[in-house]
Chains A and B, each alone.
Chain A
Amino acid sequence: GAVVSQHPSRVICKSGTSVKIECRSLDFQATTMFWYRQFPKKSLMLMATSNEGSKATYEQGVEKDKFLINHASLTLSTLTVTSAHPEDSSFYICSARDPGRGYGGVENEQFFGPGTRLTVL
């Protein structure tokens, strides 16, 4: 259980176009989802926290108008990279917290998608 999917897994686009990445929780309802960005050989940097039915909370330095996040349902959050440029090329990873799992013990609480590799030409 607790599977998170991302689509597409890879995308190549031309500079100036917009790209939408979907993140879905397949077997649980996620009130909160997170979007991370990872450059080659670097760590995951949190971009924003996506809350169902409300505006996303962006981390400092992340352009809200550049990276549009929509969390329209309890199982789907989307990240749209608008007017993409080569410097936006990166590995984008989403995660979702399963509110049905308690915070006790050693079990996992946040489930990560497989990631989307974006290449902007």
Chain B
Amino acid sequence: AQKVTQAQTEISVVEKEDVTLDCVYETRDTTYYLFWYKQPPSGELVFLIRRNSFDEQNEISGRYSWNFQKSTSSFNFTITASQVVDSAVYFCALRRASYDKVIFGPGTSLSVIP
């Protein structure tokens, strides 16, 4: 069975703090894809990153970074120097290689306080 767990339901940080959002996934497949999406209050999903299972290289994009560790089935997301505009719900998601379906985690609601 495929499953994505985001243990943190809600997180609040003060602006400029760093914050890490956890994501743990379950799959028996050897090839799969992991995603992070941001959903601001407007509701529209914003794609942040896709990572293939055979590429464990960590990714950095500006203030965002992702740590992918197959050994622990984790794909954590860190925001450095958080800003108020980062306030949103963040979803981690998983897709099996041979299927189109994307399975979403329950989401983590991040509030960045000025």
Also in contact, A91 and B100, with CB within 8 A (given A41-B109, A43-B91)? no
Q: Which residue of A lies closest to B97 (CB)?
A: A103
Is B45 in the interface zone, CB < 8 Å from A?
yes
* Segment from A14-22, A66-74, A75-83, A104-112 that makes contact with B: A104-112
Q: A108-B47, A114-B43 are in contact. Are A43 and B101 (CB under 8 A)?
A: no
Q: Is the CB of A112 within 8 A of B101?
A: no
Number of A-B contacts (CB under 8 A): 55
Q: Given the complex, which residues of B lie within 8 Å of A46, measured CB to CB?
A: 101-103
- Determine whether the beta carbon of B106 is less than 8 Å from that of A106: no
The answer to whether B44 touches A112 (Cβ under 8 A) is yes
| Residues of chain A at interface, number, CB under 8 A | 27
Q: Is the interface of B mostly helix, strand, loop or mixed?
A: strand
A25 proximity list for chain B (CB < 8 A): none
Interface string of A42-58 (1 = CB under 8 A from B): 11111001000000000
B107 near A104: Cβ-Cβ < 8 Å = no
- Interface mask (A78-121 → B, CB under 8 Å = 1, otherwise 0): 00000000000001010101000001111111111111010000
Known contacts A46-B101, A109-B50: A115-B109 contact under CB 8 Å? no
Residues of B within 8 A of A112 (CB): 37, 44-45, 47
Closest 6 CB pairs of A and B: A112-B45, A108-B47, A114-B44, A115-B43, A44-B104, A43-B106
Chain A interface (Cβ < 8 Å from any Cβ of B) = 32, 34, 41-46, 49, 91, 93, 95, 97, 103-115, 117
